[in-house]
Structure 1
Amino acid sequence: MALTLRLPDADGRLAPYTLSGATPMQPKPGARFDRIAYSAAHVVADPLAAIDPWLQCAVDWDATLAYRRHLWSLGLGVAEAMDTAQRGMGLDWPTSLELIRRSIDASRDVPGAFLASGCGTDHLDLAEVRSVDDVIRGYETQMAAIEALGGKLIVMASRALARVATSPADYERVYDRVLSQAKQPVVLHWLGDMFDPALAGYWGTTDVDAAMDTALGIIAAHPHKVDGIKISLLDKDKEIAMRRRLPAGVRMYTGDDFNYAELIAGDGAGTEPTHGKSDALLGIFDAIAPAASAALAALAQGDTARFHEILTPTVPLSRHIFRAPTRFYKTGVVFMAWLNGHQPHFTMVGGQQSTRSLPHLAELFRLADAAHLLTDPELAVRRMRALLATHGVEG
């Protein structure tokens, strides 16, 4: 039986939409990959908490951890307390540390689960940050807290550092201190200003090539302390150029939510295995986890055609979710989790569910259907109709 509802288009006009009827994506359990693949994971808000949601955060811990177990069951790793979890956009440092603690504990019960956690300086009051030394102390505070839990670090880009640094040398000084103290190899994190405008000019310049030189110099000075670097610039050519210049054994973790399929598949260039392909640390993997798992399993078996067959339909969805203003992509990620039954409500930390329009979400629904990512189409339609009703639309 066909499922049809009325959805608004970009101009706000309502038109019938009938779901494709395609079989939802069902990846095989126990999948094995030949790429390291982290999904940055969202948090589930607690809608019943009596808080001011723009000023405080409350997390539904059971639903949040259940989603991490879902990702692990698909063979994906979890990149915890990152920007996908609304770090810096509603999720504060104390709650982030509690999230990291709970996720590390949960991972110990899942054979083969892997996890890395965001370490930053977001507990600092930017108005009170005066020097690079303040930034170093900020990183050290979070490093010590996460490593005390046994966590692996993802060293996140710092708004505080972008604010006080006056030259690339300031970045070199900070990262030298951080890397020299890390207990195990870390993942560095270069987040473009399309994701966070406060990070404009990171690495001490707005010239991307010059910034890349600085970042590569820092990695070259500490190659055994760097597992890899995640870059989120939405520029595949820049990522490939940097990937080919990384020291032997240092991985490129693509954060390119526009071109991930091509970058993960790779081009085989270079004599070092890590120079010819990207591993992954992606926010979109939260929203397309079943497809990501199935595609990576196919790639590991040498079936590149099947890999692209699965992932290609997800790219329009991802580009829509991450369209400008890109920093609001978290709303689309949580919307997908709600449509697919991973949480009972479409409410977000910080009230961020309001950052995207109804026409935007309606197009997301259509693209998710086209990519075979609505795991229970009847549930998805019921929930989409409920959302339409709250906007005064009879779907």
Structure 2
Amino acid sequence: MTDRTLPPIHLPGPDGATRAYRPRSTPRAPAAGGPLVSRVVFSAAHVVADPYADTTPDSPAAVDWDATLAFRRHLWSHGLGVAEAMDTAQRGMGLDWAGAAELIRRSAAEAKATGGRIACGVGTDQLAGPADLDAVRAAYEEQLALVEETGSQAILMASRALAATARGPEDYLDVYGHLLRQASEPVILHWLGPMFDPALEGYWGSADLDAATDTFLEVIAAHPDKVDGIKVSLLDAEREVALRRRLPQGVRCYTGDDFHYPELIAGDDQGFSHALLGIFDPLGPLAAEAVRVLDTGDAKGFRELLDPTVELSRHLFRAPTRFYKTGVVFLAWLAGHQDHFAMVGGLQSARSLPHLATAYELADGLGLFPDPELARHRVQSLLTVYGAAR
């Protein structure tokens, strides 16, 4: 079969007009493979909602566990690690702590059964309303204990409660120092910028990013044996490079920059970033293929594979960035990883039809859909629901 055998589809644009797009008919077909060698790569994975659950946006999440775990097996089959119960899984945006705890338990058991690598988010989202520092510490401790009990690596996520409670850098030093002393194994520290969560403005005790960076590094320097690495999600490549050059020996930098990941992972003559990325949910097989090329020392070939994906990533993560999950789940539906386009918390409504149409076009152009005809049919069905089909 050659390309251009599928009929065109009329996609709506941001100006209200439609454009004819002819989908490709042949997908990329990257093979599954073993662990990656030159970089540690995690995909932050989404959750699949149960579309038949009688819920409201304020209800506890109803999760389709079979489809959710099947997607994690898909990522592991390509040699990627899974970053579980992170913001990509709608943590704090539809998935509460009870749901996250169940997700961690189930995914950790699946990882153990399949030999997959897993790291899980530790936060304070069980807190309701204002909290003091003792409550923040206790909430973190509860979640850290659960993650460690499952045998997973812990990712200490940024805390909305700590951001609201902390009086300055000293409170961050106190809370994180306390947690790192308790951790039984090295953890990943996560610095999530306010573009992903506006409630995290001024994290590390200052809205001045240079001052915040100094506090962040002070936490690490005090406990380098308890920090496996840092995940930086500030969408600022120059700042990430400057930060990773200041890390203690042996502490990894995991890029969370969904705008500049190819250059940051490829690195320079002074180092490189590993990866913990939400965009590697839809890009999983292609990302793994690119890193395997990098494993051979072919940085140019790596960039040739991954650079063309940046346009899609920038589209999915455009402001308001926190709603990128909608595009991620939309593409999972089109790729056949789930049978519906429903999200916990009703977040499928968080992006417009023109936004989703562009996401489809960009992803199809990259060959991301194993069955392009299925993807086209599903987009057509969505257009019909919106009354936009032609």
Provide TM-score, normalisation by structure 1.
Answer: 0.96
Report the alpha carbon displacement of residue 21 of structure 1 after superposing the two structures with TM. Answer: 4.4
1:331-350 matched pairs, under 5 angstroms:
331-350=326-345
Gap change, CA 1:110 and 1:379, over 3 Å in 2: same
Match of 1:273 in 2: none
SS at match of 2:280: helix
Match of 1:220 in 2: 221
Report the alpha carbon displacement of residue 49 of structure 1 after superposing the two structures with TM. Answer: 1.1
Match of 2:70 in 1: 66
CA contact (8 A) 2:6 2:22 kept: yes
Report the alpha carbon displacement of residue 52 of structure 1 after superposing the two structures with TM. Answer: 2.2
Q: Which residue identity is paired with 1:164?
A: T
Q: Which runs of 5+ in 2 are unaligned?
A: none
Aligned pair count? 386
Following TM superposition, the consecutive aligned residue runs of length 4 or more in structure 1 with deviations greater than 6 angstroms are none
Tell me how far apart the structure 2 counterparts of residues 117 and 31 of structure 1 sit (CA, whole Å).
19
Q: CA offsets, 1:324-380, max 9 Å, x none?
A: 000000001101100000000000000000000000000101111222212211000
CA contact (8 A) 2:60 2:99 kept: no
Match of 1:272 in 2: none
CA-based RMSD of the aligned residues comes to 1.1
1:55-134 matched pairs, under 5 angstroms:
55-111=59-115, 113-125=116-128, 127-129=129-131, 131-134=132-135
Asked whether 1:379 is paired with 2:379, we answer no
SS at match of 1:305: helix
SS at match of 1:105: helix
Gap change, CA 1:302 and 1:3, over 3 Å in 2: farther
Range 57-66 or range 8-17, more displaced = 8-17
Gap change, CA 1:31 and 1:121, over 3 Å in 2: closer
Tell me how far apart the structure 2 counterparts of residues 268 and 334 of structure 1 sit (CA, whole Å).
37
Tell me how far apart the structure 2 counterparts of residues 311 and 300 of structure 1 sit (CA, whole Å).
14
Q: CA offsets, 1:228-247, max 9 Å, x none?
A: 00010000000000000000
Range 183-192 or range 32-41, more displaced = 32-41
Q: Which residue identity is paired with 2:117?
A: F
Asked whether 1:211 is paired with 2:206, we answer no
Tell me how far apart the structure 2 counterparts of residues 14 and 36 of structure 1 sit (CA, whole Å).
42
Match of 1:192 in 2: 193
Tell me how far apart the structure 2 counterparts of residues 4 and 312 of structure 1 sit (CA, whole Å).
27
1:296-315 matched pairs, under 5 angstroms:
296-315=291-310
Q: Which runs of 5+ in 1 are unaligned?
A: 270-275
Tell me how far apart the structure 2 counterparts of residues 100 and 4 of structure 1 sit (CA, whole Å).
42
Q: Matched residues, percent identical?
A: 58
Range 280-289 or range 137-146, more displaced = 137-146
Q: Which residue identity is paired with 1:119?
A: V
Report the alpha carbon displacement of residue 305 of structure 1 after superposing the two structures with TM. Answer: 1.8
Tell me how far apart the structure 2 counterparts of residues 36 and 352 of structure 1 sit (CA, whole Å).
30
Report the alpha carbon displacement of residue 110 of structure 1 after superposing the two structures with TM. Answer: 1.3
CA contact (8 A) 1:3 1:381 kept: no
CA contact (8 A) 1:54 1:351 kept: no
Q: Which residue identity is paired with 2:89?
A: A
Match of 1:10 in 2: 14
Match of 1:355 in 2: 350
Asked whether 1:47 is paired with 2:51, we answer yes
Tell me how far apart the structure 2 counterparts of residues 347 and 312 of structure 1 sit (CA, whole Å).
30
CA contact (8 A) 1:313 1:370 kept: no
Report the alpha carbon displacement of residue 394 of structure 1 after superposing the two structures with TM. Answer: 1.6
Range 296-305 or range 185-194, more displaced = 296-305
Q: Which residue identity is paired with 2:388?
A: V
Report the alpha carbon displacement of residue 55 of structure 1 after superposing the two structures with TM. Answer: 2.4
Range 80-89 or range 365-374, more displaced = 365-374
